[in-house]
Amino acid sequence: MEPSKPPRVFISYSWESEDHKTWVRYLGECLYRAGIEARLDQWFVQPGESFTAFMEQEVEAADFVLVVCTPSYAHKSNTRQGGVGYEQQIVSGQLMSGTARSKFIPILRKGDYGRGPACAIPTHFLGIAWIEFRDDMAFEESLEDLIRVIFSKPRFAPPPLGARPSLETITTTRLNRIRLTGVGESREHPDSNIEKGDSVKTYLKEADIKLKPDDAEFYYNRGVAFANKRDYDLAIADYNRAIEIDPGDYFAYVDRGDVYSIKGDHDRAIADYTKAIEIEPGDSYVYRARGDAYSYKGDKERAIADYNRAIEIDPDHASAYIDRGKAYSDKGDQDRAIADYTKAIEIEQGESYVYRARGDEYYYKGDHDRAIADYTKAIEIELNDADAHNNRGKAYFAKRDYNRAIADYTKAIEIEPDDIGAYINRGIAYIENGDNDRAIADYSRVIELKPDDATGYLDRGAAYSQKGDYDRAVVDFNRAIKLKPDFATAYFNRGLTYNDKGDKEQAIADYTKVIEIEPGDIGAYINRGIAYFEKGDNDRAIADYTKAIELAPNDADAHRNRGKAYLAKGDYNRAIADYTNAIEIEPDDIGAYINRGIAYFENGDNDRAIADYTKAIEIEPDGATGYLNRGVAYGQKCDYDRAVVDFNRAIKLKPDGAAAYFNRGLTHSAKGNNDRAITDFRKSFELYTAPPDREAALRQLRRLGAE
């Protein structure tokens, strides 16, 4: 510490109550008034800033770290929960890299110093000097003790050094076997993101092993050091030797299990955790760790059983709730997952990823508003949480709020410029917003970042197809298929594009390929049926729609399209049956009411036709087709006045609708009002573009003697 520079201290504590936070803040104020720069999250972490970054920076920069010890703090530190658990990992890293232990000053605020349920001192700080702060009446005296430590001004000084006495030499010293604090009782996965230092400490050198070849402690500690350096094979070798020497070494089994888990060898990890549980059945961490290993293997039931046991042992083990929540999520049980994440939030507030995880479950349930609320909370805690922005963007997208979705995806990209998922999602939002050019730019960026991934080409092809640039779309779909020959979606989208180009044969070939790859793809059957229908092959179209209905009996599109094919074949009763099924599935399906009305009309049942057209008008009052078709049905019943009223309404809604003028002309003619009929036929002739329609209008004009 520079003499002219005020000492800097970081205050580490747990958020267990508002009273406790107030007391910690008061302590910081007292230190500031004493000329000590106290660094406290309540002062220096603003909304949206990272707590973890603040912890890392402050522990590194501080001259001293004040550890405000309570039973809650000790519990979170020992089980690596929340911010306190993260700080413990930072502290362990500092100690392993050679930082003096005197940098860390335990302050006993609540609980006991010794081991037991009320122990307030984290395991890695047991055995070192602490300062008493439990008695508020003695606060000033305790504060002076703390300030003296920080300024290296002890309350008592030793007497002058006396003369050396004559003493007998002791030839043998008995060394007590100790575990290295911050290492021996560590329950963290060694594969953390904290730099532990590049050198193994002197006491772990090979020379020390040679001095103590049968001391399990040395092998264990060196194993921990190797694990912290991510040299896992050497770590396992040392843990093996420690266990050979001391088969009851609980920590060696736990830490070896952790390393096996990191290496992906979950069977061996489970075996080690199981052995550790046999030795010490009351540690919630090991049950949770074994639960994680089972979960990685896909055995969610055993994982949940272990998480349950961890929670029984330690009802405040937030990480166990989080991991159990994930296991429930993987099983599709969103409600239980939400309940577990909620409990974890109650225990350990301020962790952005837990809010994000709960938001994901709400999203999967379709509760997008609650999902957005949780993602927003995660972002408030951690402004640069790219995943929270990305996921909130997905929730906004699901609500069709494309502009907000785009804003969130853009923020995710600002935070992580190479986030392929954010570019893909933003591209989709741009397409839905009608901005195909920006979508293409995003997908081009995806291709730049990952040129061998078919997804970028697939999505860019879809954007080109949306623009009507079918040739470029096909080129991209071809590239996607070359990169991934069994990419059913690429064949499907290419089929849609070929169909839009009018190449029905190639479209049918692509849909057929999709069905070969994924025989249960309903969309492929429906779209191949549409291609057959548009070619005039109603029987093959009906066969494909029938297969789609077999696969998904409640698919309204399949029933509606088969009804259309039956209608084209003149099989009106089957058409009516299919349209009726479509309406039962989707009661507001306007197209099904219109088409069933046509089938009733062709079957001579004008009253039912009129009822269906009336229902279509109720659903969509501004749609011209319902009025047009109902007018025709009224005309067929010789109810010409109502027919004219409906044709007038159809023309008002769609002034360029040639059919409405033509049919109103027929109605005026039937009423004997030929002048009006001629005016309508002439107007329909002007508006019609198809030669047969124009010829029909001319025939009516000639019939009435008009030029």
Assign 3-class secondary structure to 325-382.
HHHHHHCCCHHHHHHHHHHHHHHCCCCHHHHHHHHHHHHHHCCHHHHHHHHHHHHHHC
pLDDT of residue 46: 79
What are 266-285's pLDDT values in tens digits? 999 999 999 999 999 988 88
Mean pLDDT of the chain: 87
**Under 8 Å between Cβ of 663 and 647:** yes
Domain 202-356 annotated CATH 1.25.40.10: yes
User: What's the token pair of residue 372?
Assistant: 């957005």
For tokens 């005020």, the residue is 6
**Under 8 Å between Cβ of 262 and 294:** no
Sign of CA dihedral 347, 353, 359, 364: negative
pLDDT-above-70 percentage for the chain: 87
Query: For residue 198, is pLDDT > 70?
Result: no
pLDDT of residue 56: 80
Q: Categorise residue 120: left if φ over 0, alpha if ψ from -120 to 50, beta otherwise.
A: alpha
| CA-based nearest residue to 239, from 401, 64, 228, 251 | 251
**Under 8 Å between Cβ of 649 and 657:** no
Query: For residue 184, is pLDDT > 60?
Result: no
Query: For residue 169, is pLDDT > 70?
Result: no
3-state helix, strand, coil in the chain (%, to 5): 70, 5, 30
* d(C-alpha 206, C-alpha 202), whole Å: 9
pLDDT of residue 160: 73
**Under 8 Å between Cβ of 666 and 640:** no
Classify 64 as helix, strand or coil. Answer: strand
For tokens 């003619």, the residue is 669
- The residue that leads in pLDDT, 198 or 394, is 394
User: What is the mean predicted confidence (pLDDT) over 274-299?
Assistant: 93
Buried b (16+ CB within 10 A) or exposed e, 396-419: bbeeebbebbbbbbebbbebbeeb
User: What is the mean predicted confidence (pLDDT) over 174-203?
Assistant: 31
pLDDT of residue 349: 65
Classify 324 as helix, strand or coil. Answer: helix
- The residue that leads in pLDDT, 526 or 152, is 526
Lowest mean pLDDT among 1-5, 180-184, 314-318: 180-184
- The residue that leads in pLDDT, 120 or 12, is 12
Domain 8-150 annotated CATH 1.10.1530.10: no
User: Hey, how many other C-beta atoms are within 10 angstroms of the C-beta on 580?
Assistant: 15
Counting beta carbons within 10 angstroms of the beta carbon of residue 511, is it exposed (0 to 12), middle (13 to 18) or buried (19 or more)? buried
* d(C-alpha 601, C-alpha 107), whole Å: 89
* d(C-alpha 702, C-alpha 707), whole Å: 7
DSSP code, position 205 = S
What are 390-439's pLDDT values in tens digits? 999 999 999 999 999 999 999 999 999 999 999 999 999 999 999 999 99
pLDDT of residue 348: 75
- pTM for the model: 0.64
pLDDT of residue 576: 97
First to last CA, the chain: 107
User: What is the mean predicted confidence (pLDDT) over 456-476?
Assistant: 95
Query: For residue 57, is pLDDT > 60?
Result: yes
- The residue that leads in pLDDT, 79 or 62, is 62
User: What is the mean predicted confidence (pLDDT) over 594-620?
Assistant: 96
pLDDT of residue 86: 56
| Domains of the chain by residue range | 8-150, 202-356
Contacts 24+ apart (CB under 8 A), 542-551: 542/566, 542/569, 548/522, 551/520, 551/522, 551/525
Query: For residue 25, is pLDDT > 80?
Result: yes
* d(C-alpha 483, C-alpha 485), whole Å: 6
Contacts of 320 (CB under 8 A, 6+ apart): 284, 287, 288, 291, 307, 310, 311, 314
Grade residue 103 by pLDDT with cuts at 50, 70 and 90. Answer: confident
* d(C-alpha 497, C-alpha 469), whole Å: 9
What are 217-276's pLDDT values in tens digits? 888 888 888 887 889 999 999 999 999 999 998 889 999 999 999 999 999 999 999 999
User: Hey, how many other C-beta atoms are within 10 angstroms of the C-beta on 570?
Assistant: 10
Give phi and psi for 9, each to the nearest 5: -125, 145
pLDDT-above-90 percentage for the chain: 69
Contacts 24+ apart (CB under 8 A), 635-642: 635/663, 635/666, 635/667, 635/670, 636/601, 636/606, 637/606, 637/610, 638/670, 640/667, 640/670, 640/671
Which span out of 152-161, 163-172, 223-232, 460-469 was modeled with the highest average pLDDT? Answer: 460-469
pLDDT of residue 201: 39
Determine the distance from the C-alpha atom of residue 434 to the mean position of all C-alpha atoms in its chain, rounded to a whole number: 26
pLDDT of residue 92: 57
- The residue that leads in pLDDT, 391 or 89, is 391
pLDDT of residue 663: 96
User: What's the token pair of residue 671?
Assistant: 């009423």
User: Hey, how many other C-beta atoms are within 10 angstroms of the C-beta on 56?
Assistant: 18
* d(C-alpha 390, C-alpha 375), whole Å: 9
CA-atom Rg of the chain in angstroms: 38
* d(C-alpha 134, C-alpha 171), whole Å: 44
Counting beta carbons within 10 angstroms of the beta carbon of residue 102, is it exposed (0 to 12), middle (13 to 18) or buried (19 or more)? exposed
Lowest mean pLDDT among 160-169, 174-183, 263-272: 174-183
